[in-house]
Structure 1
Amino acid sequence: MSSQTNSANQSGPLSGFRVLDMSRILAGPWSAQTLADLGAQVIKVERPRVGDDTRRWGPPYLKDSDGQDTAEAAYYTAANRGKDSITVDITQSEGQEIIKKLAQKCDVLIENYKVGGLKKYGLDYESLKEINPALVYCSITGFGQDGPYAQRAGYDFMIQGMGGLMSITGEKDGVAGAGPQKVGVAVTDLFTGLYATIAIQGALLERQRSGLGQHIDMALLDVQAAVLANQASNYLVGGVVPQRMGNAHPNIVPYQAFATSDGFIILAVGNDGQFEKLLQLAGREELMQDERFATNPARVQNREIVCEEVANIMVQESRDYWLEELSVRGVPCGPINNIEQVFANPQIQHRQMQIEVEHPLSGSISLCNSPIKYSRTKVEISKAPPLLGNDTETILSDVLGLGEEELKALKEKGCI
């Protein structure tokens, strides 16, 4: 375990671990951010003067204290809280030496360069494990380190399509608006980041026994196939190729959005008892005597008839009526909120999912909090996404022991 010098969360369960984040965009930074939330010191390595691509992925941009746009895109702030930022030019030999020295003092390295991209700099796993056998080295790519597609670039949108997610997302053929749809956030990147975090923690636990690190090979396409979950099993076990169904569920009925007299709500009936409570509230208990309605398997087989009947019931009353009366009876339901409404939700506010953190440009910045809540160990976010190169001199001085003259020479060469 490495000693920390500049961690934003000294109380987290990973306090004392140090991570070298050589990734950019979303999947890798999301993993590193999660590790930072859990208390690890995360050193984000960026290109001098350029930095992570997402710093420029706007608008919107973070505003300064005068309300003017800064150069920091909102996108960047989503995946980089709690980190230190250093700028290092790894194409220069001096830059490569800095990364090697940092890797000697880190527990984890995360990178998402193309396959073999770091080998020419001597920064691949095989090279770095020679100087730090305990290093857990996580590579994130579109298709993995081997296989016929290994050299291809992979991005979330295309992987959502290639990995089957878009074939089951969107309205079914034959209705208005039909066609494949991607999910509204880059879920393949996010899932890959979370799987990477799980894999890294597993490798750190295994290291407690073996004393050795290892290489983790994470691929977006693998992850997207894995998170097809029940839809994959519907095919692998049942031999049925899932299709787009709009908001409907392939295995549960009624489980979709329904119109009320003044708006839509989500009705998520998970069992026969909940369905019976819905019918009792609507004064339609007799439908439970109809074999087409009595059990979930029967309702799935008679989906159109059941959903037509439920739609006729739901439109009789208002959105608020159904939300209140169904919730009281234990029938799962919910509104369809926009994102402003999400953060105004009293439950979200109670759970402190929006936090304010000090920021050097704007005074403070609103961030989404970590959803992880332990009973004893506090997950505390107090460090905003860093400015480009904000911590270069501090990290190189405190961690590597570089003096003023060495830092000055590196700056003059444009290496940092």
Structure 2
Amino acid sequence: MPMSGVKVLDLSRVLAGPWAGQILADLGAEVIKVERPLSGDDTRHWGPPYLANDAGQETEQSAYYLCANRGKQSVCIDMTTPEGQAQIRQLAADSDVLIENFKVGGAAKYGLDYQSLAKINPRLVYCSITGFGQTGPYADRPGYDFLVQAMGGLMSVTGEPDASGEQVGGGPQKAGVALTDIMTGLYATIGIQAALSERLHSGQGQQVDLALLDVTVATLANQASNYLVGGQIPQRLGNAHPNIVPYQSFVVADGHCIVAVGNDQQFARFVDVLGLPELAEEECYRSNVQRVLNRDRLIPKLQRAMLERPRDEWLALFEQVQVPAGPINNIDEVFENPQIKAREMVVEMEHPESSALKLVANPIKFSRTPIRYSRPPPRLGEHSDTVLSALSSINKTQS
């Protein structure tokens, strides 16, 4: 597999760090997850729901924990003790990568910071994930996904717009998943892989510093650029797009659907299906620039037409003329979608407490080295004896 032979020591918990560790495990790395004795990763207790065993009884494996810890070994170590610290140092000495999400300075209290571990393993790639990074005036603050979605501007562009100075639609909204944590896990994975690649030339490891706030700002993408380049402060537009029109949801006869018109040719085909072909010839709607400037006049006309047919009828008509459109699926509809099934986006694994654990698959598809799912998310301390006895054997051999 692509990362076979890479050893990862995962000291992180909750989501951003564990997400990075799971990706590396999916790619073939050996990942050892260090957890607190008795309680383990916080997310083990973030339920319900919890996994049911083959007898239908609820286990201690929360759905939240299961989503981010596939492919790892779980080892319980009390790092507040000298013995635990020594064990982690031994594991780090034999690792290529370490992932941690302590508060700034937290790892140093135990002698497990980058500077300390680099002395015993100069090749170590040490990835630190915090709310605000290792530097700056906010470095000592704790950071959480929800908080940082707000501080980083993401919530200011998510949700329904204000009307006449009054809030409608609930005002600013966070994303429906912990998107900042997920994106930070992805950036952490990229940073780790880049540092491993650089190590091939230098022979040296380094610290990779990831901040939830930095990642949130980076992923504002076109909205950030709208401000930096155009001087425009982006506002909430609900399901509409700031730079493309029409690119939004519409109410139809039996619910809602999405239309994503990306160019002028698609717009002409779209309004032709609606029975409004003349709109594509009007100067104020002919180009996307004009449609953005005149969206308040255009959208009501399109919306009135969209109410005339049910969703599936519209979608069939749009597909015939290659106008991008789709339904707003519930999660159950997502996993019943034939495309999702064809892409094998659900993986079924045998868990010690359930013979048919279902998880979302990794979306990366390799032509030669496909991802293999051989290790389910571990039970707390499931591999402690194996891993720690191996350390004891090394100590005896060295002595």
**CA drift at 1:318:** 1.5
User: Could you tell me which residue of structure 2 aligns to residue 8 of structure 1?
Assistant: none
- Judge conservation of contact 2:345–2:360 (CA < 8 Å) in 1: yes
Which of 9, 12, 16 lines up with 1:27 in the alignment? 16
> Which secondary structure does the structure 2 equivalent of 1:237 belong to?
helix
Write out aligned runs for 1:324-363 (5 A).
324-363=316-355
List runs of 5+ in structure 2 lacking aligned partners: none
**CA drift at 1:398:** 3.7
**CA drift at 1:337:** 0.4
> Which secondary structure does the structure 2 equivalent of 1:357 belong to?
strand
1:366 and 2:355 aligned: no
User: Could you tell me which residue of structure 2 aligns to residue 152 of structure 1?
Assistant: 141
For 1:106, the aligned partner's letter is S
User: Could you tell me which residue of structure 1 aligns to residue 384 of structure 2?
Assistant: 392
1:321 and 2:310 aligned: no
Q: Distance in 1 between matches of 2:244 and 2:36?
A: 49
1:50 and 2:39 aligned: yes
Residue deviations 1:95-153, cap 9 Å, x none? 11111111111100000000010111111000000000000000000000011000000
**CA drift at 1:40:** 0.3
Q: Which range moves more in the overlay, 317-326 or 265-274? A: 317-326
- Judge conservation of contact 2:90–2:391 (CA < 8 Å) in 1: no
Q: Distance in 1 between matches of 2:339 and 2:292?
A: 33
TM-score (norm. length: structure 2)? 0.97
Identity of aligned residues (%): 59
> Which secondary structure does the structure 1 equivalent of 2:230 belong to?
coil
**CA drift at 1:376:** 1.1
- Judge conservation of contact 1:154–1:220 (CA < 8 Å) in 2: yes
For 2:350, the aligned partner's letter is E
1:234 and 2:226 aligned: yes
Q: Distance in 2 between matches of 1:308 and 1:74?
A: 42
User: Could you tell me which residue of structure 1 aligns to residue 193 of structure 2?
Assistant: 201
The number of residue pairs the alignment matches comes to 393
- Judge conservation of contact 1:137–1:215 (CA < 8 Å) in 2: yes
1:280 and 2:269 aligned: no
For 1:243, the aligned partner's letter is Q
Q: Distance in 1 between matches of 2:45 and 2:279?
A: 57
User: Considering only aligned residues, what root-mean-square deviation do their CA atoms show, in Å?
Assistant: 1.2
User: Could you tell me which residue of structure 2 aligns to residue 98 of structure 1?
Assistant: 87
TM-score (norm. length: structure 1)? 0.93
Residue deviations 1:290-323, cap 9 Å, x none? 1111000000000111111111121111211111
User: Could you tell me which residue of structure 1 aligns to residue 65 of structure 2?
Assistant: 76
- Judge conservation of contact 2:127–2:210 (CA < 8 Å) in 1: yes
**CA drift at 1:399:** 5.8
Write out aligned runs for 1:31-180 (5 A).
31-174=20-163, 176-180=168-172
- CA separation of 1:97 and 1:144: change in aligned 2, threshold 3 A: same
> Which secondary structure does the structure 1 equivalent of 2:112 belong to?
coil
Write out aligned runs for 1:272-311 (5 A).
272-311=264-303
For 1:249, the aligned partner's letter is H
Q: Distance in 2 between matches of 1:160 and 1:150?
A: 17
Q: Distance in 1 between matches of 2:393 and 2:328?
A: 54
Q: Which range moves more in the overlay, 337-346 or 317-326? A: 317-326
- Judge conservation of contact 1:172–1:178 (CA < 8 Å) in 2: no
User: Could you tell me which residue of structure 2 aligns to residue 413 of structure 1?
Assistant: none
- Judge conservation of contact 1:101–1:400 (CA < 8 Å) in 2: no
List runs of 5+ in structure 1 lacking aligned partners: 1-11, 405-416
Q: Distance in 2 between matches of 1:403 and 1:288?
A: 77
> Which secondary structure does the structure 1 equivalent of 2:285 belong to?
helix
For 1:182, the aligned partner's letter is K
For 1:286, the aligned partner's letter is E
Q: Distance in 2 between matches of 1:364 and 1:346?
A: 21
User: Could you tell me which residue of structure 2 aligns to residue 181 of structure 1?
Assistant: 173
